[in-house]
Amino acid sequence: MKPAPFDYRAPGSLDEALGLLGDESVVLAGGQSLVPLLNLRLARPELVVDINGLAELDYIRADDGPLRIGAMTRQVTLERSELVRERCPLLSAAVRLVGHPQIRARGTVGGSVAHADPAAELPVVLTALGARFHLRSPAGERALDASELFLGPLATAREPDELLVEIEVPEQPEGTGHGFAEHARTHGDFATAGAAAVVGPGGAGIALLGAGPVPARAEAAERALAGGAAPAEAAALAAESIEDDHRRALCTELARRAIGEALA
Amino acid sequence: MRISVEINGRAYDGEVEPRTLLSDFIRHEAGLTGTKVGCEQGVCGACTVQLDGEPVRSCLMLAIQASGRSLTTVEGLAPDGELHPLQRAFREEHALQCGFCTPGFLMSIEAFLRTNPDAGDEELRDALAGNLCRCTGYLGIIEATRRAAREMGGSNG
């Protein structure tokens, strides 16, 4: 199918973009989720605000400690970044599982976060990493953590006049280990379940994919792990609230693998 | 809206609605029907073209977004009628039957081999995962890719 008619604007600056956002608009970043919705007419916006011209949101830097990723950074750029591989190998590993090369060539880090698909890899990994999400509106800027940003499937706390501008990944202390494991029926498909684990001297971050409506930290498992629990024990805690037997078994095993990898 | 895009080294100018998909512009306005349109939701890979050398789904871009950029479609692989080594390998290895998926495969694989001339089997299978073929069962496509990689100078295969 083809999209229904819409007005289209491609602002050349962030300020111009912010002036266009509102109740009737949608933001077009990489388009790998939005354009299918337009094609299927599941989305029929009045106005499409294309932010692909905002070069100022395409960066990866770590000058002041945390890894700062501009929202318009393409997934392929994240995948190829030496800085990311060095600072946050978990992101480098997980982004390779997002869609296919043709998707990652266009898809953006910010788009994946703002779309908030509960089966997407990047939101889960960023949740485990304790990322902060910076939103900008004409009124100013605010930063949310994952528990504040993700409200439900495809739903975030972003207001219609706000734009996600940056993802901030806190610096990982020396000696931090990472792991990510997922199960997908075919490579590149949306995963049915997955787990991300970050285990370091300062504590642990564990988040599951496919376990609920939003990526959420498995806090009981994190505490258990910090207290010296074995990976299998922490993994069982992480998945214990999942009702469906198959999904719980899958998440438990994937969490065990991710935690094991992080500790290896 | 005014669009000006380079496809296979040639300039195409025209007027498009904002909602015109790049895949439709390529086929209907530029008349390059080598690019196929399958699912129009980013799953099948039949519409894959290269945008400034990177493989992309042309059904998941608006035509207007390609303005000022450079595209390569399957027609650009054999500009003088001489088949590209990858196309030759597809023919030799029986990597196509109906051929509908072939242009998408070619554009994905050509980009992959350019950046990964020495890729191993697993990487190669990964690189093919974004294109669906419902006839061949993929083995011929994998063989053809290995053969093309050898002929193009990589050590793959």
Same domain flag for B97 and B70: no
Check if A249 contacts B (Cβ < 8 Å): no
> Rounded mean pLDDT of A120-133?
97
Check if A246 contacts B (Cβ < 8 Å): no
Name the DSSP class of A65: S
A-chain residues within 8 Å CB-CB of B110? none
Is A23 inside a domain boundary? yes
User: Is residue A96's pLDDT more than 70?
Assistant: yes
Check if A9 contacts B (Cβ < 8 Å): no
Q: According to the model, what pLDDT value does residue A1 have? A: 84
Q: According to the model, what pLDDT value does residue A59 have? A: 98
Share of residues in chain A with pLDDT > 90 (%): 91
Is B20 inside a domain boundary? yes
Chain A closest-CA separation from residue B86 CA (Å): 19
CA neighbor of A225 nearest in space, from A128, A89, A107: A128
In which order are the strands placed within the sheet that holds A7-9?
A: A7-9, A47-50, A25-28
User: What domain range is A225 assigned to?
Assistant: 177-263
Chain A closest-CA separation from residue B41 CA (Å): 5
Q: What are phi and psi of A143, to 5 degrees?
A: -125, 130
> Rounded mean pLDDT of A175-197?
90
Q: According to the model, what pLDDT value does residue B137 have? A: 81
pTM to 2 decimal places: 0.94
Q: According to the model, what pLDDT value does residue B157 have? A: 44
Domain count, chain A: 3
B-chain residues within 8 Å CB-CB of A103? 42, 57, 130
Check if A75 contacts B (Cβ < 8 Å): no
Same domain flag for B59 and B99: no
Is B80 inside a domain boundary? no
Give the count of Cβ contacts less than 8 A between chain A and B: 87
Kindly give the residue spans of alpha helices, DSSP state H, lying in A55-118: 75-80, 82-87, 89-95, 101-104, 109-115
Interface subset of B 80-99, CB within 8 angstroms of A? none
Positions in chain B short of pLDDT 70: 154-157
Is B146 inside a domain boundary? yes
Among A6, A41, A100, A112, most B C-beta atoms within 10 A, so best to mutate, is A100
- Taking only the tens place, the pLDDT of each residue in A204-246 is 999 999 888 999 899 999 999 999 999 999 999 999 999 999 9
When CB atoms are compared, the residue of A2, A100, A101 closest to B21 is A2
What CATH number does residue A18 fall under? Answer: 3.30.43.10
Q: According to the model, what pLDDT value does residue A187 have? A: 73
Which among B43, B75, B107 is the end of a domain?
A: B75
Check if B111 contacts A (Cβ < 8 Å): yes
Residues 6+ apart with CB under 8 A from A95: A75, A78, A79, A104, A121, A122
- Taking only the tens place, the pLDDT of each residue in A30-77 is 999 999 999 999 999 999 999 999 999 999 999 989 999 999 999 999
User: Is residue A119's pLDDT more than 70?
Assistant: yes
Is B157 inside a domain boundary? no
Which among A169, A204, A229 is the end of a domain?
A: A169
Neighbours of A134 (CB within 10 A): 18
How many angstroms separate the CA atoms of A18 and A51, rounded?
Answer: 10
What CATH number does residue B105 fall under? Answer: 1.10.150.120
User: What domain range is B124 assigned to?
Assistant: 85-151
